[in-house]
Chains A and B, each alone.
Chain A
Amino acid sequence: GENVEQHPSTLSVQEGDSAVIKCTYSDSASNYFPWYKQELGKRPQLIIDIRSNVGEKKDQRIAVTLNKTAKHFSLHITETQPEDSAVYFCAASSGGSNYKLTFGKGTLLTVNP
C-alpha cells in the first residue's frame, strides 16, 4: 500500500519567516495530494491540494509543489503569522483511487511572535 513520509515532525519559525514541510510517497499511481491543517483540539481542515497534472499551486501565502518523478511534494507558507501555528498533515491518494487517502504523521508548526 501507499506510504507517506513527512518531515520535519516539528518546526519553529519567527513571525514573518517562511516555513517548508516536505512529504514523500511510495505509490507511483497516486495522483491527488491534499494538505490539512489541524489547530489544537479542532478537526483537520483542507488548506490546499494539488493533482498530478500540475507542478505547483498557490493560494495567497500558501503554495504546494509536486515532483512526480521524485515522488515528493512540499507545502510552503510565506510571511508566517502566529495563527499559522498548528499541526499540518500531508496526504496522498492510495489504492488507485482519489477517495482513499494515506496521511503523513504530521508537522507541528510553531510561529513565534
Chain B
Amino acid sequence: NAGVTQTPKFRVLKTGQSMTLLCAQDMNHEYMYWYRQDPGMGLRLIHYSVGEGTTAKGEVPDGYNVSRLKKQNFLLGLESAAPSQTSVYFCASSDGGTLGDTQYFGPGTRLTVL
C-alpha cells in the first residue's frame, strides 16, 4: 500500500494564480484532512471530510476550497494565491470508529507564493 500520497511535492506560484493540490489514500479511510504547517505554528486544520461528498471547515479555512468527489481523493484548491499561503501543506486520513483515530499523513507539498 502506498498509504497517503500528495501531488505535487513542490510548487511556486505568483500572487493571484490558482492551483489544486491532490491527496490520495489507498487505505479505504472515511476521514480526510488538510493541514498547513508554518514555522512555530504547529499543524493547523484547514478543511476536513468525514466521508465521500462531505466537507467541513477547520481552524483556518479562508482562501481555500476543497472537494471529496471520490472516497480516496481529497482536493485542496487555492483560487487566488496570496503570499500568506506560503506554507507546507499536509494531507492526512483516518479510519474513524472507536479505535480508528490514528491520522496518517502524506509527505507534504511545499508551496511558495511570490
| B-binding residues in A (CB < 8 A) | 1, 6, 9, 32, 34, 42-46, 49, 89, 93, 98-106
CA distance A39 to B59 in the complex (A): 24
| Structural contact, A100 and B45, CB atoms closer than 8 A | yes
Q: State the main secondary structure of chain B at its contact with A.
A: loop
| Structural contact, B103 and A101, CB atoms closer than 8 A | yes
CA distance A30 to B106 in the complex (A): 25
Number of interface residues of B (CB under 8 A): 22
| Structural contact, A89 and B105, CB atoms closer than 8 A | no
| A-binding residues in B (CB < 8 A) | 31, 40-45, 48, 50, 58-59, 90, 94, 96, 101-108
Which residue of chain B lies nearest to A91 when distances are taken between CB atoms in the complex? B43
| Structural contact, A1 and B59, CB atoms closer than 8 A | yes
A-side contacts of B41, CB under 8 Å: 105
CA distance A91 to B43 in the complex (A): 10
Q: With contacts A1-B59, A43-B90 known, is A103 near B44, CB below 8 A?
A: yes
| Structural contact, A46 and B103, CB atoms closer than 8 A | yes
